[in-house]
Amino acid sequence: HPIVTVRHGKAGVVEVLGDGGKEDDEHERLSVVHVHIPRLTAEEAKSLTERLRKMLSQVRAAVVDWKRMLARLDQAISEFRYSAVPLDKKSVAEAIAFLEWLRDDNFTFLGMREFKYVGGEESGSLERADKPGLGILSDPDVLVLRRGTEAVTTTPEIRAFLHGPEPLIVTKANAKSLVHRRIYLDYVGVKTYTAKGALAGELRIVGLFTSTAYTRSVMKIPYLRSKAETIIAKSGFNPNDHSGKALINVLESYPRDEFFQVPVPVLRKHANAILGLVERPRIRALVRADQFDRFVSILVFVPRDRYDSVVREKIGAYLKTVFEGRLSAYYPAFPEGGLARVHFIIGRSGG
């Protein structure tokens, strides 16, 4: 993309000064992108214009509020560090390390929204706080958790998380990103507490993990490493012997987005099942339902020499029927050994 220096006027760019010069109050350096598209009808052109305006509006909102989002994240970290949070100290320390890791250029922050918890443990609910959202969540119509077009209410599952032992949760938002990559937004829910340690609500953060989240060892990423260390410790294997190394390899090759979301008991069960497939390859499906009942995640293993697009389509159609949903996504992979793996995501209730 060529960079040019321009001078702005009331009606936009009034003069292009070439590729030299510096940016100042009167001049701006712009990256020029020239896009060729087929001829559009008037209706198609109008639709494209509206989509571009929405996209640029979200980019602008994320950029304008970027420093505010970092400041709010720093506040959440300080609250965990210095407030009387009634949670396990080791879990809180790992949550702090994870939030600091996100801040260290491992997460693209696109939006934040605060919720307050009203009521008791069995019947309480989350309500939007009076504070305005930040970034793309400054738009009240952007919903992070929803089923169909409706916002997810405070279900027993959400209530269980809020009153459970974990300081935060990582999952996928229902909304797709219009910034950077056209994929479902990553959602980090952080519990908030009063100075006296009472549950105050939740800080919802949306954005995208950067490439390091997918390429770095799980043993070097806070939050993931605690899951991996727990599973390795409970396995009884020596990390340096054959079985221990095989288990670590299973964890490192586990779908990374899924690793962030899956609870430790389920991850441990799946890791042991995959270890068994290494020793005795066979057809197997490993299922996890999203705790907000928006989708089902299924890892399907089939013999590599029998796998092709026809088989994948048949499996996807079968899973859609079984889980009464729609095929939202699939991700084939070919790990070492005789099995192919396909990660299916089946959306439920419009999720």
**DSSP output for 131-144:** SPPEEGGGSTT--S
CA 251 remoteness from chain centre: 19
Q: What pLDDT does residue 23 have?
A: 64
CB 210 within 8 A of CB 201: no
Low-confidence ranges of the chain (pLDDT < 70): 1, 13-14, 19-25, 146-153, 349-351
pTM of the model: 0.88
Which of 187, 186, 182, 190 lies closest to 161, judged by CA? Answer: 190
Q: What pLDDT does residue 13 have?
A: 64
CB 129 within 8 A of CB 115: yes
| Domains of the chain as residue ranges with CATH | 1-34 (no CATH), 64-213 (no CATH), 217-274 (no CATH), 281-351 (3.30.70)
CB 298 within 8 A of CB 343: yes
Q: What gap in Å lies between CA 49 and CA 196, rounded to an integer?
A: 50
Q: How many Å from the N-terminal Cα to the C-terminal Cα in the chain? A: 37
Q: What pLDDT does residue 294 have?
A: 86
Q: What gap in Å lies between CA 58 and CA 331, rounded to an integer?
A: 28
Q: What pLDDT does residue 153 have?
A: 61
